Amino acid sequence: MQKVIRRRRAATVLSAAEAGLHPLLARIYSARGVTSTGELDLGLAQLLPPTALHNAGRAAQLLADALAGGQRLLIVGDFDADGATSTALAVAALRALGARHVDYLVPNRFEYGYGLTPEIVALAATRKPDLIITVDNGISSVAGVAAARERGIATLITDHHLAGRELPAADVIVNPNQSACDFPSKHLAGVGVMFYTLLALRAELRRRDWFAGRAEVNLAQYLDLVALGTVADVVPLDRNNRILVAAGLQRIRAGQARPGIQALLQVAGRAQRSVVASDLGFAVGPRINAAGRLDDMSIGIECLLSDCAERATALAAQLQQLNQDRRSIEQDMQREALQILAQLPLAEAEAPPVAMTLYRSGWHQGVIGILASRIKDRLHRPTIAFADSDAGELKGSARSIPGIHMRDILDAVATRHPGLISKFGGHAMAAGLTLPRAAYEPFCEAFVAEVARHAQDIHLQAVIESDGELGEAELQLDLATQLRFAGPWGQHFPEPVFDGRFQLLSQRLVGGRHLKMVLAPPHSAQCLDAIAFNIDGHTWPDTAVSQVEIAYRLDVNEFRGQRSVQLVVEHMVPLA
């Protein structure tokens, strides 16, 4: 689908002189809502206090009592990178704080599905826990919590997903998105919620003189995990999350990361000293996710938990192989999905439907989320991809676009058509669901109709937000370096993108799917390296094109110890 470039406009202007910033950077921050230099202070002292998080104090008391009583604690996690980092954080920190019996359990997505189900409680009960602690799940586990209560097992829910109409009857629930919580930041990832719970626990242990005669735990040592999970879960990077991510990145760059994160950066070919948020999101996170998608997330968790560099390296190698396998499966599924799209009865000038649903027998449950994301990006439409499950059911993974709240859409479908959806949950931009196989066709109709009800005032054309054009004097290494480290950039605080017209001096394919170019500003002798990843091989290279309009990021390329400016092209239109 053709994309539109639209330039951002700053509602307010941050004074570059007062902030001590390059004027371009001041303009970029202003366009992202920064109005004062104080908002650029990302020191840990600026974190929102754990006392502001509803029930964090009650959770701390429950955990402190458990530590004092030598209770058996079982962490029940999720099978994505946020769930893995949350689990590793909980296990490592609780052990460091003095818990004598801490174990974890992550449901296998292919056998048990998501969350604290009664089946998972039955499995957990074989380990005889006194307290189950969920991380990055649990807010919708009404039946699972009831099953735990029947077995005499206490439950602490820590989650960030949106709550349903009924909350589980857990001993304590910590979730900034429950209606009773006035925490100013609603965007904590699951790992962030767990980190705040641990901050509250440490404060409670201080009040009880728990650390008398023993070293107090510095929870900042776990911020690399918090940063990784926060970025990988693509939650909005409001100021509080940016503080957490910035602190974690600082530790990683300083060589203080856990061996598992260091090993994952190494296999991904990312330099630890210059790591930024995108390295966590596009390099480390997918390798951890691959374990949960194809095999067992415990491989990723053990990699993150390992204190031994040699073992961490071996586990990172396993994750690297799983990620390569995942890519191969994804490419095959994407080819099949594109074949399905090609069969749609659309004229070339006609827009696709307001929403897309895709299913083919044999698709891999663990990869449908990535497939849905790829098709969503391609068509700029809310998309759900389905795969076969057991017992005559289909598992769906949904991805949305700005303005269409996916979980609310599914809730509306479930309300209008009782029994059509077996279960669902998620966020505004991503969700999961289960259907009876026979309900697929009626669900597709109901889903498209519901999206259409909400899409009347929504842009259904992909828009690239640009921070404007750069002058020749700004296309320099020093400024590119400043921009790289001026974040952390991410969801709702996007990395700067610029636009402009360039002469296309040379072009060639590299790696089979990427277009390497040399560009020059109009009427200039300045030559700039550029690369466009995952281009359409049917369109490029095109030796007939000599001028292009592009949207791009100003980046730094490091090769054999040499650093140079590189334009990373997000969108390109031939002009002549």
Q: Which amino acid is at 343?
A: Q
The reported pLDDT for the residue numbered 295 is 81
Contact 359, 394 (CB under 8 A): yes
pLDDT digit string (tens) for 402-423? 889 999 999 999 999 998 999 8
- pTM of full prediction above 0.85: yes
Task: Please give the domain boundaries of the chain with CATH numbers for all domains.
Answer: 45-320 (3.90.1640.30), 344-454 (3.10.310.30), 465-574 (2.40.50.460)
pLDDT at residue 246 in the model: 98
Neighbouring-strand partners of residue 566: 529, 555
Decide: helix, strand or coil at residue 29: helix
Region 98-104 average pLDDT: 96
pLDDT in tens, 507-527: 999 988 899 999 999 988 899
Distances (CA, A) of 543 to 511, 515, 575: 19, 12, 13
User: Which pLDDT value is given to residue 349?
Assistant: 47
pLDDT-derived band at 564, boundaries 50, 70, 90: very high
What would the mean pLDDT of 95-100 be, rounded to a whole number?
96
pLDDT(253) > 80: yes
Burial class from Cβ neighbours inside 10 Å (0-12, 13-18, 19+) for residue 512 reads: exposed
pLDDT tens for 334-361 read 889 888 887 776 544 456 789 999 999 9
Least confident window among 236-245, 340-349, 482-491: 340-349
Question: What residues have CB less than 8 Å from 329, skipping those under 6 apart?
Answer: 294, 364, 367
pLDDT at 345: 62
Question: Is 457's pLDDT higher than 70?
Answer: no
Query: By the 8 A CB rule, do 208 and 64 touch?
Result: yes
Q: Which of 290-294, 336-340, 559-563 has the lowest mean pLDDT?
A: 559-563
Structure confidence at residue 162 (pLDDT): 85
Average pLDDT, the chain: 92
Give residue 193's pLDDT: 98
Mean predicted confidence (pLDDT) in 259-283: 96
- Position with higher pLDDT, 541 vs 459: 541
Structure tokens at 540: 């490029």
311-328 residue pLDDT tens:
999 999 999 999 999 989
Beta bridge partners of 516: 508, 531
Residue with the two structure tokens 């404060």: 203
Share of the chain above pLDDT 90, in %: 75
Tokens 């989650």 found at? 159
pLDDT score recorded for residue 347? 44
Band of residue 132 on the pLDDT scale cut at 50, 70, 90: very high
Instruction: Give the residue-averaged pLDDT of 560-567.
Output: 89
- Taking CA atoms, 458 is separated from 235, 282, 380, 450, 571, in Å, by 21, 28, 11, 13, 22
**pLDDT value at position 339?**
86
* Amino acid 351: pLDDT: 67
